[in-house]
Structure 1
Amino acid sequence: MLKTTLSLAIAAAISAPAFAGHDDKPLVIEITSGLPQVENTLQSETTAVQASPTTDGGELLQSLSGVSGIRMGGRAIDPVIRGQSQTQLNILLDGAYIHGGCPNRMDPPTSYSTVDSYDSVTVIKGNRTVVYGGGGSGGTVLFERQWPSVDEKGYSGELSASYHSNGDRYELGADVAAGSDTGYIRVISHKTEADNYDDGDGNEVRSSFESLSQSLLVGYRLTDTTTIEASYDKQEENDVLFAGAGMDSPYADADTTRLKLTHEFEQGVLQQMQLELYQSDVKHTMDNYSLRPSGMMKMQAPSTSDTAGLRLIFDARAADIDWTFGADMQNNARNAELQNAAGVVQRIMWADAEIRQTGVFAEGEKVLGADDIVKGGLRYDLISAEATRRGEVVGTPAYSSDDIWQLAGASAGAGEQRTEHNVGGFVSWTHRLNDQYRVESTLSRSVRTADATERYMARFTMTGDWIGNPELEPEKHHQLEVSLQGNLETLNWSATGWYNRVDDFILRQSVAAGMKSRDIYRNVGAELYGAELEAAYPLNENWQLGSALAWTVGNNLDDDTPLSRIAPLELNSSLDYHKERLKMGVEWQMVASQKDICLSGAANCGGQDVRKTPGYGVVNLHAQYEFDRGLSLLAGVDNLMDKAYTVHESRDDAVNPDPFQVAEPGRSVWLRVTQSF
């Protein structure tokens, strides 16, 4: 079953007066039965992205130019876009926000996204829309599904199996749908198991895991203009090992329920109305004894994260402007405790941290003659945050969360309810210089509220502290982005430069606290800027060259130090061949060394960087052949030269006695078989 790209309301076709070839769609990865393809924001050409089967959405995103990731183990890659991560990115899984249950980011939202269970992944770099929530200064990522396409038989489906030699990782998947234009039912299931992989030097990396994903989707057309859809996802993660943490995760479960009502108006200004409701509940635990040799102090940390939300969106056309406007709500509640092996609470790390967000938004797009298009949006968010268990006293010595925050400098009662009024928006102008060139510029402001960990973390121990700051101001990002695109007969290219000035950037920093180190959060002035170059050159009707360059810089302007976890200069080049049923290609990833760092630890800069990382080059091969009757065979080799390397942003290896990072996998031969029907 070929899953086609989900069209977005904000990326609808522009009316006839618009200049030829204009395409305002963001980056869209089409998930198919074969090699995934990416349609560039600026060009109509497609280039291959990571071909080998991925463990989760974070690993897929990591293969895109300008997108990197933080590795802790074999899965749960935490994505970074233009130097920004965590809640600086808006990540939605089929319309739902899922906030992970682990304070240490063992389960970022993308860890609950089995890639093959979605039809498309849309990546919007920077702040270019106000529809999908407040913040989103680094970008927005949409994992989406669509009404399944079935033929006259009334059903369709896809079965898949894959294997990676490094770590003996295998995956089995099934996606089956039955129905018609009137209604459908769809069942999706994926199971993955992996042992520890080896890095390029043959060292074993703690990275094994088990994952089971199951989804049930139903849809019904109430009338010719009204549809209703519902879905339920259950994701189970078991025995997940993390080299980049002092604990492992025996289990992490996520249950997500969604309901979507869509109505198309047959006449008048309004064109479409869409109402989405969702509930995501995460249960997570980590400990330092059940999956690894235990030390003197056996500790566990059970946690929960429950998120409920809704989004009401209208599409309209008035005054020759295409409008999208509406309102959304999101309520997240998190609890986390640090316990001994007997279940006795030692500290409350998330003291029932509640963050409630209500927003209203509107954006419009207008064609100004044959050569100009303008687009703009405005958003207001009302934020309230409170830690309702802040006064509970536990542990030895006995402290409440409120007491611990005061140890780090907060005032008494800092955990009481706080309210923010955040305003963001953007304006963009696209101008066609001639038939071959056009320039696009975007000016934006986005405001990101502090998350539960930044506000309310209260981990106070004899060996080290990790303490939030309930008095943090929200981040204010002011960005300018300019892009020049060329569409020539033999070459498509784009060059983009961007600058982001951040007021009240939320910085995590290690400081000395007596004989131990303490991680705290504070507001500083910061800047992020960079450039991205992309080009696609067809050698002939079968061969195509592609290349993408990404460069990012981040600075703490208050302390005159670099920001942590900023990706070094990266160049990805590819050569792809496509003839009839055969596709194959080679990718060469070259990454420079990163020397502009802020080292972790109170004795250093107090940042999150592990070390100065050396540069590296990695070569990947892939091939696909489509047989008759829907059978496809894919194969390839990742890290062909068995290179030993680490991604700069990755965590330090807590298992290895040397202070080095979690290494990437060495050479791995992989095979994938899919059968569509």
Structure 2
Amino acid sequence: MTSKLPRRLPLAALVAAAAWGSLAQAQGTDTLTTIVVEGTRQVPGELSLSPKSSPAPAADAGEWLRRLNGVEGIRMGGHGLDPVIRGQQGNALNVLIDGGYVFGGCPNRMDPPTAYAPLQSIDRVTVSKGVTTLQHGAGGSGGTVLFERSAPEFEGDAVGQQGSVGASYDDNGERVDLYANLEAGNRQGYLQVFGEHQNASDYEDGDGQRIHSGFETTSGGITLGLTPSENTELALGYEAVRERDVKFAGAGMDSPESDNDTVRLRLDHAFSDTLSMENRLQVTTIDHVMDNTSLRAAPVKMGMPMKMRSPTESDTFTWKSMFTQQLADSDLRYGINVLHNERDAEIINDSTDKLMFNSWPDVTTRQAGAFAELDHYLGERTVVSGGLRVDYSEASADGANDPSENPMNGGLPAATFYNKVYGVEGDLDHDDWLVGAFLRGEQRLNESDSVFASLSRAERDADATERYSAKNDWVGNPELDPEVHHQLDLGFERRLDMAGFEVVAFADRVDDYIFRSANADGVSTYRNIDATLYGLELSGDLRWARHWETRGQLSWVRGDNLDDGGALSDIAPLRGRLSQFYVADAWEAGLTARFSDDQDRLGPDEVATAGYVVLDAEAAWQWQALTLRTGVSNLLDKTYSDFLNRNRSSSDPFLGSDPESAELPLNEPGRSVWLAVDYAF
């Protein structure tokens, strides 16, 4: 359904949309397009584009997001890259797929939400850095990522069809990707069917060393939509993702099996030209298995193999109802969100068939809240926006007192670990009120220049692992307070006929930042500290000599531990890209230099990495509905590692006889020659 509300795009926002279009092309797009959701307004700090706009195939959504300026990713293998924005990750980012949350089944984040977002069926990805909206739930201090599928539009009573099919191949790891998206319907309803299959072997780094990283994923879904009138849409959908034999060189285990099933219900209705509503309900289940025997040899301790297996479950329910109302000079959005997640994880010694730990002891987290936000237009050049939301957050670990069968720790339950490490006794339940707010101003100074400023507050509660993880070397803290972020964003943009650039700076003061480090006994623990995060992002493009385009981007973040001094963990160094493209009517070709500074400002247990420059070449050609793309990533076959990559596991089968290499971050792929074809009909 297309909203009956008109798009209220003041000139300042149009300039911002044009700049984001340039940025989208700076990521390697073959067309200069910005996709804006009908009925909404693009705001500074928000980028909305199609995942099909990036020529080079991506193993998953996390790898694709890492190509965007200011977005990083944590690699543990060939699949399951975990996004990081502004030095923040996990539930500091609100990641939604078709309007709902999907929380993975691995406490070590083998399967972040992006692992369950099959890119080739996604029409639009919207990335917001910092707090630009409150409508998707509490938290989101680092940003929000929305993966969305669009409802097809058919006219008349005759049944129409449309769709797309495609394939890609990457020779490094022999990764093959096949997909199909099919749609049929008329003005009274539609049917969407989509599917994708990827299979990859282990890739090699620049030295020709194999990295334990192969995987296989299969996904598919169906959506039935009814449009009884142009003002109403009701849609019911089912989606399944099956992951098999996913290898993780950066972890002590692999995932031989992970199943995700999701049911979605959507109801949108426009009551009038000035009032509409949207409703999203989603139920998702994940059954995830990890072990250290299926895809690698189990490590040997005291002459005995330590065969470990960890079955986990994560079930999530989300519901959102929102009304959008157009007033005289304002757009008002208000509504409610409900989020309920249940997680359970065990670690079993397969050699003895004994339960070692209840690593997620029947953990439940719940949040329910209400929000309201307003865009007020002060003429064509000025927009003032603000919002407020309040959430009630609860958490419990109903299995915390269930004993294990581990004779090595006397069958201790999770509650005993909390008491031993933190001195926590008695009631382990948690509840708190979370308050979020923002105030933003946007001003177009003249025909080419615009500025914006934003102040925001966001609170995020600890996730299931931070609060209730329970094993001998990794214990969550039930008494953690929520993080409180107070953030300032400032931005300036200039957009000329043949050039443009944008600069955004941010500073984030965090009270009760949730900090992970090892205690004196070597146990990984969590505590609240005070911290600051601040950084800078630059992007620009220059079109010259008719067909030539130069594109660039740069990002830098710093994180400070104010309690102990030193750095926060997982803070990427200065990074960027510089591209030169030749663009004609039906084809384009370009060369991109990706570069990173070294990083020796380290958080707990981190290892320094060297800087690098990596070259990529790519080309794309379009003929009617057919698009051919090809390229070479890491053209010079350089050996390098991103700082955020996980350290390699000592049980990685390709470490050889050098145990010290287990302490080094996981290397990125070496030279990769790729080819892709897409056909739309």
Normalized against structure 2, the TM-score is what? 0.91
Are 1:437 and 2:449 counterparts? yes
From 627, 641, 650, the counterpart of 2:645:
650
Deviations 1:116-170 (A, max 9, x none): 1110100001111101110000000000011125687710121111110001110
Note the 1:105-254 alignment, pairs <5 A: 105-149=109-153, 154-254=160-260
Report the equivalent of 2:510: 502
Structure 1 residues 46 and 132, CA gap change in structure 2 (3 angstroms): closer
From 594, 614, 620, the counterpart of 1:618:
614
Q: For 1:184 and 1:323, locate their aligned partners in 2 and report how far apart those are by CA, in whole Å.
A: 30
Are 1:484 and 2:518 counterparts? no
Secondary structure in 1 matching 2:517: strand
- Structure 2 counterpart of 1:597, which letter? L
Residue 12 of structure 2 contacts residue 443 of structure 2 at CA under 8 Å; is this kept in 1? no
Deviation at 1:674? 1.6
From 265, 269, 287, the counterpart of 2:271:
265
Structure 1 residues 33 and 632, CA gap change in structure 2 (3 angstroms): farther
Deviation at 1:35? 4.8
Q: For 1:20 and 1:207, locate their aligned partners in 2 and report how far apart those are by CA, in whole Å.
A: 42
- Structure 2 counterpart of 1:65, which letter? N
Are 1:288 and 2:292 counterparts? yes
Deviation at 1:497? 0.8
Are 1:403 and 2:416 counterparts? yes
- Structure 2 counterpart of 1:275, which letter? N
**Greater mean deviation of Cα atoms: 152-161 or 44-53:** 44-53
**Greater mean deviation of Cα atoms: 111-120 or 395-404:** 395-404
Q: For 1:376 and 1:320, locate their aligned partners in 2 and report how far apart those are by CA, in whole Å.
A: 14
Report the equivalent of 1:665: 669
Deviation at 1:436? 1.9
Structure 1 residues 26 and 243, CA gap change in structure 2 (3 angstroms): farther
Q: For 2:525 and 2:370, locate their aligned partners in 1 and report how far apart those are by CA, in whole Å.
A: 33
Report the equivalent of 1:332: 341
Report the equivalent of 1:390: 400
- Structure 2 counterpart of 1:637, which letter? V
Deviation at 1:490? 2.9
Report the equivalent of 2:535: 530
Are 1:567 and 2:572 counterparts? yes
From 615, 626, 633, the counterpart of 1:638:
633
Deviations 1:441-481 (A, max 9, x none): 00000000100000000012xxxx10000100000000000
Structure 1 residues 22 and 539, CA gap change in structure 2 (3 angstroms): closer
Q: For 1:445 and 1:431, locate their aligned partners in 2 and report how far apart those are by CA, in whole Å.
A: 22
Deviation at 1:21? 3.4
Deviation at 1:50? 4.4
From 44, 69, 75, the counterpart of 1:71:
75
Are 1:368 and 2:363 counterparts? no
Structure 1 residues 423 and 38, CA gap change in structure 2 (3 angstroms): farther
Residue 24 of structure 2 contacts residue 49 of structure 2 at CA under 8 Å; is this kept in 1? no
Report the equivalent of 1:312: 321
From 537, 545, 554, the counterpart of 1:549:
554
Structure 1 residues 103 and 19, CA gap change in structure 2 (3 angstroms): closer
Report the equivalent of 1:603: none
- Structure 1 counterpart of 2:98, which letter? D
Structure 1 residues 490 and 23, CA gap change in structure 2 (3 angstroms): closer
- Structure 1 counterpart of 2:205, which letter? D
- Write out the 4+ residue segments of structure 1 that deviate beyond 3 Å after TM superposition: 6-10, 18-50, 149-153
Deviation at 1:113? 1.0
How high is the sequence identity, in percent, across the aligned residues? 38
Are 1:379 and 2:389 counterparts? yes
- Structure 2 counterpart of 1:497, which letter? A
Structure 2: any 5+ residue segments left out of the alignment?
Answer: 35-41, 300-304
**Greater mean deviation of Cα atoms: 27-36 or 298-307:** 27-36
Report the equivalent of 1:3: none
Residue 88 of structure 1 contacts residue 138 of structure 1 at CA under 8 Å; is this kept in 2? yes
- Structure 1 counterpart of 2:238, which letter? Y
Structure 1 residues 664 and 371, CA gap change in structure 2 (3 angstroms): same
Residue 45 of structure 1 contacts residue 536 of structure 1 at CA under 8 Å; is this kept in 2? no
Deviations 1:43-96 (A, max 9, x none): 999999742111111011000111110000001000011111111100001111
Q: How large is the RMSD of aligned CA atoms in angstroms? A: 2.5
> Between Structure 1 and Structure 2, how many residues are aligned?
650
Deviation at 1:534? 1.0
Structure 1: any 5+ residue segments left out of the alignment?
Answer: 1-5, 601-608
Residue 34 of structure 1 contacts residue 624 of structure 1 at CA under 8 Å; is this kept in 2? no
- Structure 2 counterpart of 1:205, which letter? I
Residue 12 of structure 2 contacts residue 442 of structure 2 at CA under 8 Å; is this kept in 1? no
Q: For 2:69 and 2:13, locate their aligned partners in 1 and report how far apart those are by CA, in whole Å.
A: 27
